[in-house]
Structure 1
């Protein structure tokens, strides 16, 4: 299943390049159909690349850990949006999850987010939940999140200048732990 979301804001026209191509006497459609779309920079946010949860009131040692998850990577591909609507980025994140000794049950819900940034400003953000099930006698699983379709409106070259960030949705305590122990 593909889940789509659009970047909020006005859609900038990509007409200048099309007018230039039209002036060459040919239709721009065949040229765009064969062209490779540019891609924005897609990256994992270092401070939000790991999620470790502990049993409430149990401290922060291994015996109190209920879940340890990591963003293991992603698959991304880019294409021109239909009707010159911008750039479409199809993104599928990958995760590893480990069931801790203090875990109750065989499932975990892992919140993660995808954000689109332009320079230092976040332009849009969407949150998702990955449902993980641990089979009997299995403590570590690898799972993919849902396939996401992100539409970056406007000129494809300008859209490719944005950055797409992936990371877990963390509590202040979980973020502090990640910053304390550093990247893994």
Structure 2
């Protein structure tokens, strides 16, 4: 019996480093973080006026604002799959006649500009229930693929959210800040 034990000692000493090294095979690879997401301050609010020259409080159909987002990402062999839920506050104005607010928002990744894939627009319709002039709304529609796997370059793939606006609406936002 003693002989057998001593015969196995050298084998155990040789196998021990191999067994310990194989433990690293079972450790998970560090997953890169999600691309950073930002709300553009110039495009975070929209005041929609009724048609015509008037631009005072009585001409407002609705006001919309992106108030936040949640989401996450997962990775596969082609890169990141990002899903976002974008939250809006929408307020009905005195000029509204149909109890609806129709607007679009965008998700853009400037790294891909000038490709058409650099920006996607999402049309949204919010209905104001009878007796209320304010709606908090979350759109869970945004899912995008970002072809990046290296966490060292993830910041190049910044994602921006904003409300799609005319030049006049954007200029109004910039001057009212």
> TM-score scaled to structure 1, two decimals?
0.75
Among 47, 56, 61, which residue is 1:52 paired with?
47
Residues of 2 paired with 1:157 and 1:122: CA distance?
A: 24
RMSD value over aligned CA atoms?
2.3
Q: Which runs of 5+ in 1 are unaligned?
A: 1-23
| Structure whose CA Rg is larger | 2
Task: Please identify, of 122-131 and 39-48, the stretch whose mean Cα deviation from structure 2 is larger.
Answer: 122-131
In the superposition, relative to structure 1, how do residues 95 and 29 fare at CA in structure 2: closer, same or farther (>3 Å)?
Answer: farther
| 4+ residue segments displaced more than 3 Å | 24-30
Ranked by relative contact order (alpha carbons within 8 Å, sequence separation 6 or more), the top structure is 1
- Going by fraction, where is helix more abundant, 1 or 2? 2
Residues of 2 paired with 1:148 and 1:110: CA distance?
A: 16
Residue 138 (structure 2) aligns with: 144
Q: Which runs of 5+ in 2 are unaligned?
A: 1-20
Matches within 5 A, 1:17-166: 31-32=28-29, 35-81=30-76, 84-118=77-111, 121=113, 124-157=118-151, 160-161=154-155, 162-166=157-161
Contact 2:70 2:84 (C-alpha < 8 Å) held by counterparts = yes
Q: Size of the alignment, in residue pairs?
A: 154
The superposition leaves residues 61-98 of structure 1 with CA deviations (integer Å, 9 ceiling, x where unpaired) of: 111100100001000212112xx111111111100101
**The residue matched to 1:31 in structure 2 has which SS?**
coil
